């Protein structure tokens, strides 16, 4: 789940002894007796340059095996199809190095990496998710590969997209008690924790809120609303850890 590649090797005639040398291309990753190795050196994943791995074995009598066939795990990429992120295009490289037929399944993940839903893939190396989760700003995907030539499930990296966090604030409101447009409230997409402030023309703060349930009725220091213009500022940290700042003006109208 941390986007680390885990390699598992088996030596049927020597299940626990000897030394294994793991390599990726011409680069040696480690020489160790361990049958499991986690490679943290791959930090960027692209279907066009999927990493491949091999392993060689030397037994306790210094007899050396031929290197294994290359094994290339599936690599997944995700991009937004449109500006608002109403759909996501996913592409991936095929898993190589396993015998037999392979089956692919796209997993849509929750923020805690649990599986929200799965999308079976009939064929091809691309899929458009036309209904990504509506309440999550950041959408995460993972590819699951199964097949008779694999000792177990094989997973791709986690690929994610981050949609735009937006706040919508009206340009005017009418706090006259008629039940229509009486308060100033923040609406938008993917709003969770934020800081929204309103200041008068002298820069004095007159209102602050941290969630959409807190609205402003136009009163300043408990005085009745007075027509005029005010400046607002919206600030939030989105799910990708980026600071989002928006500014504007709002007018109290009779």
At residue 185, the 3 state secondary structure works out as coil
If asked whether residues 170 and 241 sit together in one domain, one would say yes
Q: What's the pLDDT score for residue 192? A: 84
Q: Which CATH number goes with the domain that contains 32?
A: 2.60.40
Section 68-74 average pLDDT: 94
pLDDT at 152 over 90: no
Section 150-159 average pLDDT: 92
Give the C-alpha separation, 24 to 72, whole Å: 10
Q: What's the pLDDT score for residue 58? A: 96
At residue 49, the 3 state secondary structure works out as helix
CA angle, corner 193, sides to 189 and 194, nearest 5?
A: 85
At residue 208, the 3 state secondary structure works out as strand
Q: Which CATH number goes with the domain that contains 222?
A: 2.60.40.1220
Bridge partners, 230 (sequence order): 250
Picking from 72, 94, 115, the residue at the C-terminal end of a domain is: 72
Q: What's the pLDDT score for residue 84? A: 86
Q: Which CATH number goes with the domain that contains 145?
A: 2.60.40.10
If asked whether residues 81 and 68 sit together in one domain, one would say no
If asked whether residues 207 and 239 sit together in one domain, one would say yes
If asked whether residues 13 and 92 sit together in one domain, one would say no
Give the C-alpha separation, 197 to 209, whole Å: 7
If asked whether residues 79 and 123 sit together in one domain, one would say yes
User: What Rg, from alpha-carbon coordinates, does the chain have?
Assistant: 27
Give the C-alpha separation, 20 to 35, whole Å: 8
pLDDT at 1 over 80: no
Burial of 86 (0-12, 13-18, 19+ CB in 10 A): middle
pLDDT at 18 over 90: yes
If asked whether residues 49 and 77 sit together in one domain, one would say no
The kind and range of the H/E element at 102 are strand 102-109
Q: What's the pLDDT score for residue 139? A: 94
If asked whether residues 212 and 177 sit together in one domain, one would say yes
Give the C-alpha separation, 17 to 182, whole Å: 77
Predicted model pTM: 0.82
> Phi/psi class of residue 129: alpha, beta or left (left: φ > 0; alpha: ψ in -120 to 50)?
beta
Q: What's the pLDDT score for residue 216? A: 96
If asked whether residues 154 and 198 sit together in one domain, one would say no
Q: Which residue has the tokens 């030539």?
A: 149
Picking from 111, 131, 163, the residue at the C-terminal end of a domain is: 163
How far the first Cα of the chain sits from its last, in Å, is 56
Section 175-179 average pLDDT: 90
Contact 114, 71 (CB under 8 A): no
Section 12-20 average pLDDT: 92
If asked whether residues 52 and 12 sit together in one domain, one would say yes
Give the C-alpha separation, 223 to 167, whole Å: 27
If asked whether residues 174 and 246 sit together in one domain, one would say yes
Q: What's the pLDDT score for residue 124? A: 87
If asked whether residues 157 and 173 sit together in one domain, one would say no
pLDDT digits (tens, 9 = 90+) for 95-150: 999 888 899 999 999 988 899 999 888 888 999 999 999 888 999 999 999 998 88
- pLDDT tier, 57 (very low <50, low <70, confident <90, very high otherwise): very high
Range of the domain at 170: 166-252
- pLDDT tier, 199 (very low <50, low <70, confident <90, very high otherwise): very high
Picking from 114, 143, 163, the residue at the C-terminal end of a domain is: 163
Handedness of CA 165, 106, 89, 1 (dihedral sign): positive
If asked whether residues 139 and 194 sit together in one domain, one would say no
Domain count, the chain: 3
pLDDT at 201 over 80: yes
- pLDDT tier, 193 (very low <50, low <70, confident <90, very high otherwise): confident
Bridge partners, 240 (sequence order): none
């Amino acid at each position: 789940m941390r986007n680390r590649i885990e390699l598992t090797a088996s030596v049927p005639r020597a299940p626990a002894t000897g030394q294994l040398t793991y390599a990726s291309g011409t680069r040696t990753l480690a020489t160790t007796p361990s049958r499991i190795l986690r490679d943290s050196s791959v930090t960027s994943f692209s279907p066009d340059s999927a990493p491949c791995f091999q392993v060689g074995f030397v037994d306790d009598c210094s007899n050396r095996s031929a290197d294994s066939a290359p094994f290339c795990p599936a690599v997944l990429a995700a991009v937004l199809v449109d500006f608002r992120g109403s759909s996501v295009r996913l592409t991936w490289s095929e898993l190589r190095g396993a015998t037999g037929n392979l089956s692919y399944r796209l997993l849509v993940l929750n923020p805690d990496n649990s599986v929200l839903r799965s999308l079976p893939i009939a064929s091809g190396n691309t899929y458009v998710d036309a209904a990504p989760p509506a309440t999550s700003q950041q959408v995460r995907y993972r590819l699951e590969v199964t097949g008779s030539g694999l000792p177990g499930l094989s997973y791709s990296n986690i690929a994610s997209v981050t949609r735009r966090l937006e706040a919508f604030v009206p340009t005017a409101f009418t706090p006259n008690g008629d039940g229509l447009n009486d308060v100033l409230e923040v609406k938008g997409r993917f709003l969770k924790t934020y800081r929204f402030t309103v200041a008068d023309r002298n820069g004095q703060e007159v209102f602050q809120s941290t969630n959409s349930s807190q609205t402003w009725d136009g009163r300043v220091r408990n005085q009745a609303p007075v027509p005029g213009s005010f400046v607002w500022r919206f600030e939030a940290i989105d799910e990708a850890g980026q600071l989002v700042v928006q500014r504007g003006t709002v007018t109290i109208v009779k």
